[in-house]
Amino acid sequence: MVERVYQIAEGCISDIMEYFPCHHDKSSSGQENLQPESFLAGIYYFRICSYTEQIAVINYLEKFLGEHKDVRIVIIDSVTFHFRQDFDDLALRTRVLCGLSLKLMKLSKSYNLAKGVAL
């Protein structure tokens, strides 16, 4: 959730201020960089509500990554969640998930992304 990411950004800033007080710039531009909004500005967020949306977004990722060269990690919170909820055919579900996994691995290699999956 966006609210949780905002809380994490606030916590990071708090830790930086506490543990590295001499290492952050005290100028106005340095203070601007130590705002939750500056952390969040580098995060792209897609909210997925169904397995069809998830398939569409994963298929769109290649174009998105081509247009946003600064992306270094893609986080998918539970690849299987929507498939458990809305997918009755277990064999088809397995094939679709394997295909998505293969696509994500290829994107990871092509765009040098960090790797990690939550099931």
Instruction: Tell whether 69 and 13 lie within a shared domain.
Output: no
Strand partners, 114: 73
Q: Which domain range does residue 32 map to? A: 1-43
Shared-domain flag, residues 54 and 108: yes
Are residues 22 and 2 part of one domain? yes
Mean pLDDT calculated for residue range 4-26? 80
CA dist 39 and 87 (Å) reads: 36
- pLDDT tens for 55-113 read 999 999 999 999 999 888 888 888 888 888 777 889 999 999 999 999 999 999 999 98
Residues 78 and 38 in one domain: no
Are 105 and 95 within one domain? Answer: yes
Greater pLDDT, 17 or 56: 56
- Out of 10-14, 54-58, 109-113, 115-119, which region has the weakest mean confidence (pLDDT)? 115-119
What is the domain count for the chain? Answer: 2
Least confident of 23-27, 31-35, 81-85, 104-108: 23-27
One domain, residues 58 and 93:
yes
Q: Are residues 53 and 74 in the same domain?
A: yes
Tell me, yes or no, whether 49 and 106 share the same domain: yes
Closest CA to 15 of 32, 29, 36, 46: 36
Q: Are residues 30 and 74 in the same domain?
A: no
Q: Are residues 54 and 70 in the same domain?
A: yes
Helices (H), the chain: 2-19, 28-33, 36-40, 51-67, 81-86, 90-110
